[in-house]
Structure 1
Amino acid sequence: MDLKDHIRRVPDFPKPGILFYDISTLLAHPDAWQETVRQLEAGVAPHKPDVLAGIESRGFLVAAPLALRLNLGFVMLRKPGKLPGPTVRHSYALEYGEDAIEMQEDAVTPGQRVVVLDDLLATGGTMRAATDLLHEQGAEVPSAACLIELSFLQGRDKMNVPVHSLMSFASGDTASLGPDAG
């Protein structure tokens, strides 16, 4: 099964010039979604994670079912102010400004093996920030994984861990996923 056949491309969303890679069509197709989770399992399980971390919000859709399948815990990595209780934050630079990612202070323990998941790797900023935050908390991050990689944006080059992607789109696709693409 070619998973790319289940990714809808939406031109000019959320604004003109952006080509949005929509995973909702993949999620809606039971056989394609089962195959996606199976392929993610094959790519992630060899890293022997103790817990999976999903990046807000589409990364939750990827990490949570895989954590369930692998009998692992799941950690949410969110935008600031979205998690209750004490949190830890990692700020990172954007092309025009700054952003941050947070997790609950007790979400991981030093030495835990954590694989980071998201739906998309674009420029690499958000995924790199996620791995940096986890490293700062003493976690070991052996890998990151995503459904879609926009290889023409070279986000993989910014990563400090190996990245496993199920699908890659090359420069023929001319724009990124949008304002929260990372």
Structure 2
Amino acid sequence: MADNQDLIDLVRTIPDYPKPGIQFRDVSTLLLEGPAFRQTIDRMIALVDPSRFDLIAGIEARGFIVSAAMSYALQKGKVMLRKPGKLPGQSVSIDYALEYGTDRIEMHVDAVQPGQRVLLVDDLIATGGTAMAGVQLLRGQGAIVESALFIVDLPDLGGAQKLAGAGVQPMALMAFAGD
């Protein structure tokens, strides 16, 4: 992980959100700065080898922003991993645990073909519940998921280690310890 202090300085910390004891790392302040957002996408792209994946899967909602920009820059297709009831076609879903509750994500049943290589992208990895659900959902449809990319890693919460344990290489531009 490179220094990226210029980008780290633009991430706002909101204490006790969404519940007491959680230090929410808010990338929306980073996204407000056009040149910084461009640098974020460029630096994320520099961490991956585009020949190693066919599609980019973004997790709703902030993961859509990052994955769409990467998909555009790399001319790769984009898979949407959405909250329940948002997809118009036939979908497949998975329930998962968050650090502050439970949730579900879905994707169209025909979004990936067996054997397609997919890069999973989101804004942040904490406990890894959402990312692991994305990996399981994609793999359940036959996709090969070997890498996941994030703006922020909260390493003390163990999500990156969970991904690594599942055979997925986690990468992030920055980390905030102690969260």
Same fold (TM > 0.5): yes
**Residues 38-88 of structure 1: per-residue CA shift (max 9 Å, x gap):** 111011235621110000101001100000000011111012211111001
Pairwise CA RMSD of aligned residues?
Answer: 1.8
Alignment gaps of 5+ in structure 1: 175-182
Contact 2:11 2:27 in 1 (8 A): yes
Query: CA separation of 1:18/1:91 partners in 2, compared to 1, >3 Å: closer, same or farther?
Result: closer
Alignment gaps of 5+ in structure 2: none
Alignment of 1:77-88 (within 5 A): 77-88=81-92
Contact 1:121 1:127 in 2 (8 A): yes
Which amino acid is the alignment partner of residue 79 of structure 1? K
The corresponding residue for 2:106 is: 102
* TM-score between the two structures when normalised by the length of structure 1: 0.87
Contact 2:19 2:100 in 1 (8 A): no
The corresponding residue for 1:170 is: 177
Query: SS of the residue aligned with 1:69?
Result: helix
Contact 2:97 2:130 in 1 (8 A): no
1:60 aligns with 2:60: no
Identity %: 52
Contact 2:94 2:137 in 1 (8 A): yes
* TM-score between the two structures when normalised by the length of structure 2: 0.89
1:43 aligns with 2:47: yes
Number of corresponding residues: 172
**Residues 115-155 of structure 1: per-residue CA shift (max 9 Å, x gap):** 01000000001100101111110111120010001111011
Aligned equivalents of 1:96 and 1:73: distance in 2? 32
Query: CA separation of 1:97/1:29 partners in 2, compared to 1, >3 Å: closer, same or farther?
Result: closer
Contact 1:44 1:115 in 2 (8 A): no
